[in-house]
Amino acid sequence: MKSLKFSILGLTLAFFTVQANAQKFFSRTGKVKFETDSKMEKIEAKSNTASVVIDLGTGDMEVAMLVKSFNFDKALMQEHFNENYIESTKFPKSSFKGKIINIKDVNLAKDGPVEVQYEGQLTLHGVTKPLEDKATLYVGGGKINAYAKFKIPLEDYEITIPALVKDNIGKKAHIEVKAELEEYKKAQ
């Protein structure tokens, strides 16, 4: 009998520790835009199936997407992007795992933009590198609109550009992420 009491106590405890930081916000339709600063040809692609999760309690955040979901205007460009540059069959997923340092500045009760500083690890093309930058979270009506923009050197992620087209393709990729995050409620 006593052991039953204890186990109830233990489970309740476990339940509460989960509840304490349960204020998570998420989106499955995060928009990611990628662009390179090329002179010759505009190389631009969009995806709107990125998953984004932010834990307001701890500041932990995670973004994940399938690189194959990037849509280009030119079909051949998309094929080359997948086959030769990003190698989406070998490295299908790209992700960011990190933390918002000043998560305490985000107050759900107060609508308006909050500038946040984040840091973490970006994985792309099978290579993981640290990334830190600023992002903006717009709080409004119980939702959070997240917006981040950053640059990454393609070389760092072992994405090689052949000499022949070196002038056509920029050395850096500009990435923009937009997501409307909703509060995550556990399925009861």
User: Which residues of the shown chain bind another protein in the complex (CB under 8 A)?
Assistant: 2-3, 6-7, 9-11, 13-14, 17-18, 24, 26, 28, 46, 48-49, 51, 53, 55, 60-62, 64-66, 68, 71, 73-76, 79-80, 82-84, 89-90, 92-93, 95, 97, 162, 164-165, 168, 184
Nearest to another protein of 76, 109 (CB atom): 76
Exposure letters 120-157 (e unless 16+ CB within 10 A, then b):
bebbbbeeeeebeeebebebeeeebbbebebebebeeb
Cα angle 26, 145, 175; round to 5:
90
Q: How far is the CB of 49 from another protein (least distance, A)?
A: 8
The minimum distance between CB 95 and another protein, in angstroms, equals 8
Query: What is the nearest approach in angstroms of another protein to the Cβ of residue 165?
Result: 5
154 neighbors 188 (Cβ within 8 angstroms)? no
Residues 82, 83, 85, 88, CA torsion sign: positive
Minimum CB separation from another protein for residue 4, in Å?
8
Which residue, 9 or 132, is less far from another protein as judged by CB? 9
Q: Please report how close the Cβ of residue 54 comes to another protein at its closest, in angstroms.
A: 9
Cβ closer to another protein: 95 or 117?
95
Q: Residue 60 or 133: which CB sits closer to another protein? A: 60
Give whichever of 97 and 151 is closer to another protein, judged by the CB atom: 97
Q: From the CB of 164, what's the least distance to another protein, in Å? A: 6
Q: Which is nearer to another protein, 65 or 131 (CB)?
A: 65
